[in-house]
Chain A
């Protein structure tokens, strides 16, 4: 059974940092691009970043460039999202997804507030 399990969300003050972790099982992790997608309260889905199988190609949405870093560890079947200089508008449920969404995790909530 394919599973993607996110962790690392929480409440953080503006300007702070969080590191999200997504651990997967049930498929050969190193065969797939991986993505992070978020849904802000009351709004739609927004793709945040993705990373190639070997980590050698990475893309970000403009609003997080320079602040967020996606990475992966194929030995640990894990993908990460390091989020720095967080802003109120980053408040969202963050989903880990295989490719750009053929399989999804349940999401982890990130709240940026003072």
Chain B
């Protein structure tokens, strides 16, 4: 059972913005950085954000991340049909000594 909670789904029209929340605990988000991943089923997941708000090379600035306390947020602006995927947050849990992924959020472009 995941200890990071995300909304099951979000949707918006092309060009619009969506935000995905990730709620955790002191032992994970409270003291460790969050990463965000994009996963299209049947393909390899892709890292979008690391260290709360850093983007790997090649990830457009339409993707942004933030963290405050035990919550984190992924924002996607200028939504495109190619952004349809499942999105996961992830963080190390220092109490459990495991890496935890969020429950996942399906993004739909209307």
Contacts and interface: CB of A to CB of B under 8 A. Distances in A.
Are A and B co-members of a single complex? Answer: yes
B99 A35 contact: yes
A45 B88 contact: yes
Contacts of B109: none
Interface string B76-109: 0000000000101010100001111111100000
A44 interface: yes
Contacts of B100: 47
Contacts of B43: 106
A101 B98 contact: no
Contacts of B92: 100
Interface string A43-82: 0111100100000000111100000000000000000000
Q: How large is the interface on B (under 10, 10 to 19, 20 to 34, 35 or more residues)?
A: 20 to 34
B50 A106 contact: no
Interface in A77-98: 95, 97
Given A102-B50, A104-B45, A47 B99 contact: yes
Contact of B47 (A35, A39, A60, A102): A102
A59 B43 CA distance: 25
Contact of A61 (B35, B56, B98): B98
21 contacts: A37-B45, A39-B39, A44-B2, A44-B86, A45-B37, A45-B88, A45-B104, A47-B98, A59-B97, A59-B99, A95-B44, A100-B35, A100-B90, A100-B92, A101-B45, A101-B47, A101-B90, A105-B44, A106-B43, A106-B44, A107-B44
